[in-house]
Structure 1
Amino acid sequence: MKHSDEAALQATLAAMKLAQAQGGAPDAALRIDRLTRLLHLLRERADDFCTALDADFGGRPRDASLMNDVMSSFNSVKYARAQLRGWMKPERRKGVFPFNLFGARVEVSHIPKGVVGVLGTWNVPLFTTLAPLGFVLAAGNRAMIKPSELVPRTSALLQQTIAAYFAADEVAVFTGDAGLASDFSALAFDHMVLTGSSATGVRVMRAAAEHLVPVTLELGGKSPVIIGRSADIRLAAQRIVEGKAMNGGQICVSPDTVYVAQELLEPFVAACQEAHRQMFPPADGVAALTAIINERHQMRIESYVDDARARGGRIVDCGAGLPAADARLPLRLVVDAPADSMLAQEEIFGPVLQVECYADVSEAIDRINAGPRPLALYYFGSDRDEEQRVLRSTVSGGVAINDVIMHVAAHDAPFGGIGASGMGAYHGREGFAEFSHARTLYRSGWWDPRKALGLARPYPKQLHARLLKTLRV
């Protein structure tokens, strides 16, 4: 089976590369047609995808799947379709002096790279495959997709629908286990994009290096929140809880650690409990909560909480009154978890929020800078000086002010990480550029001045002295 899977991957890649070479860079009409087919796929099979996602998670509200996976992908693809004609236009650049005085011109064209491999993940399986696919197709490429094996129904449906809407040498989906993912990441793509953990990013990047395949890595990390003393605590709690509850905290830009001034700790904790009760009334049960994807991940989350509790951390259950449910977990706050606890060291990726206190905001900044660079950073407050202090003193993939996660919805701006949280970006013009090669074109003018300027061989004896005089600082 492994041999046949490898052979199928290699055969598909070869067919796509041949088709791309024979067909050349697709024009705008073909790119728009491909993106339109992708939009029809999402629109016409939206309910089927919501059903598959609910089954794969063992409990995921349909409106959550519709918003987080279907609509987010749809809107991203639609934006790329609307902009691609402008993105495709060659860019005039400054010419080479003095040749530009005689008609020489320089321009940059963005040409397709060829065949792009897309490795998706399980938490938002459509968004992590079809959102980058939109920019891959807008840039004129073909694509091979490997969705996560942890969502088998969704992956199978994606494979089925892609095959119905696209030719086999345009877009193809391969389903299988981690072994197939390893074979997939070892292929000689022209570019590869991965959404996953930092550990997976290292493995994929190592495999890609064998063929010098450029990579886009959207990873994760402990995205921090700083709540300033000028913040509206109730607003901050409401938006943080809402963001953390999204997909059961299983989102790469989910708030992970909150830094709050010591005197605001108890008001913040109380506000989080109240916000959670309003969003998930005990009388309604747990149907609105998203389940943890599987038992292994649930055990991982519980081990973090148990470890923090054993080390003296304070656990606050924001879901008091909700009926017990196996995998649909309400939000818990862990206050003052020891620095060497698993919760403080690892990305939580679940409905648990680490809360730390500070006396001066510089303490929070120092703790953030002591760790890997996060995919997202959030600040709540109305103090512009403090806001700028936080922004100048930290490095992160993206930022939201007085909100969380919303920067990902900005279709006209890049989304990506830095350092341990990733590299490269998709969304916006930067997403189109990510999957394109910027090719410089020099066009000679109507007269060549080299001979008249003494720049043609054989060089005159005085050329060296003349050139030295031009080196002016």
Structure 2
Amino acid sequence: LSHLAKWMKPRKVRTPIFLQPASAHIQRQPLGVVGVIAPWNYPVQLALAPAITALAAGNRVMLKPSELTPHTSAQLAALVAQFFTPDEFCVVQGDANLSALFASLPFDHLVFTGSTAVGRKVAQAAAQHLTPTTLELGGKSPCIIDGHCDMQDAALKIAHGKLLNAGQTCIAPDYVLLPRGREGEFAQAYRTAVARLFPTIEGNGDYASIITPRHHARLRTMLQQAQTQGAEVQTIDPAAGKPAVPTVGTLGDGASRQMLPTLVFGATSAMQLMQEEIFGPILPVVSYERLDDAIAHINAGPRPLALYWFGQNEAVRDDVLRRTVSGGVTVNDTLMHIAHDNLPFGGVGDSGWGAYHGEQGFLRFCHQKSVLVQSRWSMGSMFYPPYGAKFDQVMGLLRRWL
């Protein structure tokens, strides 16, 4: 709020000599009505963050929260109705069919946070009205571990980023690229990190559940397919104190759906867990011989929403960032770039388009209107027809000036 007066102020721009003494500025104007389709994984933050930014830019907002978080959605609707009139900010509740109808409304801008597959459908629906969109999607966000990094520190930060909300985070580390030969070292460091963060899993209020039985079944299918195709799968139960091969009882099949953290070694591109965003506590580890191989692996797939680099060599780091494309980057940590208000947050390619947060978000929900104010001393008539010798003289002078 403290920045709004500055952001709203018309911004003067330099006027070229051939248009002087006119003046020019850019006027930042609200777009109108902004629609927000929010996901289930962070049902408050990812609903209110874009809504608040759109309101701050002077727009009205319609919010469609996820049908998978009905209690949170109802509470949001009640709170919004308490402080806003329906024509300022309203919450629309309903199932997935309503979401499809919502996306087809003639908004002045539409924000969607969710999967790439659904994002394509939202963009298609919005295109019927030429509604501009901001799509915050997902993807397979890699962690690259350099051969000289502190493995214990990297494993702890990767475990935190991966297991926050049980991996159900759009910028969660999706897989690790690790120097070949250090698999055992990483596995031990990761198990130690998990035990430090979550001494127990089942019944631990700090460790989230998988959102629905359907989502949980999808994760189980991924693991079972990987095992069948020859991958080494290790579940981590801190209470048991040693790695284990997953069985029906270790995959969080109880009512809590608290799925054990799991490492997968030897995953291949033919496996489902290397083709789709995982969105769960499963972490494949892909070994590489040379850093060029790791970069090639990333560039062979869709552009990820985030990339994480662990290493101290700045020249190598900068080379990796130059040769890869991702929505955002955190170096020697995970997730933290999303917390920085002055960094735009958004995807690229299949991980989305458009960005918000801070001033970038304010501008995302504004129309930047070009305004030229002509002076009474304007010499524009010198450029009117009929053209002749006088016009040629004027153009000759301009060519010498410019």
TM-score, with length taken from structure 1: 0.79
Q: 1:442 to 1:152 in 2, by over 3 A?
A: same
- Aligned counterpart, 1:125: 43
Instruction: Tell me, yes or no, if structure 1 residue 460 matches structure 2 residue 378.
Output: no
Note the alpha carbon deviations across 1:194-218, whole angstroms, 9 max, x for none: 0010011110100001100000000
Q: CA RMSD in A?
A: 1.9
Greater shift, 84-93 or 140-149, is seen at: 84-93
Preserved CA contact (<8 Å) 2:201 2:258? no
- Aligned counterpart, 1:210: 128
Q: Within 2, Cα distance between the matches of 1:186 and 1:284?
A: 42
Q: Within 2, Cα distance between the matches of 1:141 and 1:438?
A: 14
Deviation at 1:283, TM superposition (A): 9.3
Letter in 1 for 2:10: P
Q: 1:345 to 1:457 in 2, by over 3 A?
A: same
Instruction: Tell me, yes or no, if structure 1 residue 85 matches structure 2 residue 10.
Output: no
- Aligned counterpart, 2:346: 416
Note the alpha carbon deviations across 1:354-401, whole angstroms, 9 max, x for none: 110001011010010000000000000001111011100000000000
Q: Within 2, Cα distance between the matches of 1:374 and 1:282?
A: 31
Q: Within 2, Cα distance between the matches of 1:467 and 1:338?
A: 66
Instruction: Tell me, yes or no, if structure 1 residue 97 matches structure 2 residue 17.
Output: yes
Q: Within 1, Cα distance between the matches of 2:29 and 2:321?
A: 35
Letter in 1 for 2:387: Y
* Secondary structure of the corresponding residue to residue 380 of structure 2: coil
* Secondary structure of the corresponding residue to residue 258 of structure 2: coil
Preserved CA contact (<8 Å) 1:120 1:129? yes
The alignment of Structure 1 onto Structure 2 pairs a total of residues equal to 389
- Aligned counterpart, 1:390: 320
* Secondary structure of the corresponding residue to residue 2 of structure 2: helix
Greater share of residues in strand: 2
- 1:369 aligned to which of 293, 299, 310: 299
- Aligned counterpart, 1:9: none
Letter in 1 for 2:12: R
- 1:345 aligned to which of 275, 279, 293: 275
Q: Within 2, Cα distance between the matches of 1:180 and 1:357?
A: 44
Letter in 1 for 2:214: R
Preserved CA contact (<8 Å) 1:312 1:338? no
Letter in 2 for 1:142: R
* Secondary structure of the corresponding residue to residue 3 of structure 2: helix
Deviation at 1:466, TM superposition (A): 6.8
Q: 1:404 to 1:471 in 2, by over 3 A?
A: farther
Greater share of residues in helix: 1
- Aligned counterpart, 2:246: none
Instruction: Tell me, yes or no, if structure 1 residue 312 matches structure 2 residue 312.
Output: no
Preserved CA contact (<8 Å) 1:120 1:145? yes
Preserved CA contact (<8 Å) 1:289 1:329? no
Preserved CA contact (<8 Å) 1:272 1:318? no
Letter in 2 for 1:331: P
Identity %: 41
Deviation at 1:288, TM superposition (A): 2.2
Preserved CA contact (<8 Å) 2:201 2:207? no
Letter in 2 for 1:121: P
Q: Within 1, Cα distance between the matches of 2:23 and 2:234?
A: 66
Letter in 1 for 2:41: N
Instruction: Tell me, yes or no, if structure 1 residue 156 matches structure 2 residue 86.
Output: no
- Aligned counterpart, 1:429: 359
Spell out the pairing of 1:49-448 with structure 2 (5 A cutoff): 81-100=1-20, 102=21, 104-282=22-200, 286-321=204-239, 325=252, 326=254, 327-448=257-378
Preserved CA contact (<8 Å) 2:137 2:352? yes
* Secondary structure of the corresponding residue to residue 353 of structure 1: strand
- Aligned counterpart, 1:63: none
Q: Within 2, Cα distance between the matches of 1:466 and 1:372?
A: 54
Q: 1:471 to 1:369 in 2, by over 3 A?
A: farther
Letter in 2 for 1:455: F
Letter in 2 for 1:208: A
Letter in 1 for 2:13: R
TM-score, with length taken from structure 2: 0.93
Letter in 2 for 1:98: F
Preserved CA contact (<8 Å) 1:289 1:330? no
Deviation at 1:336, TM superposition (A): 1.6
Preserved CA contact (<8 Å) 1:99 1:445? no
Note the alpha carbon deviations across 1:263-310, whole angstroms, 9 max, x for none: 222111110001111111149953321000000000001111111111
Deviation at 1:463, TM superposition (A): 3.9
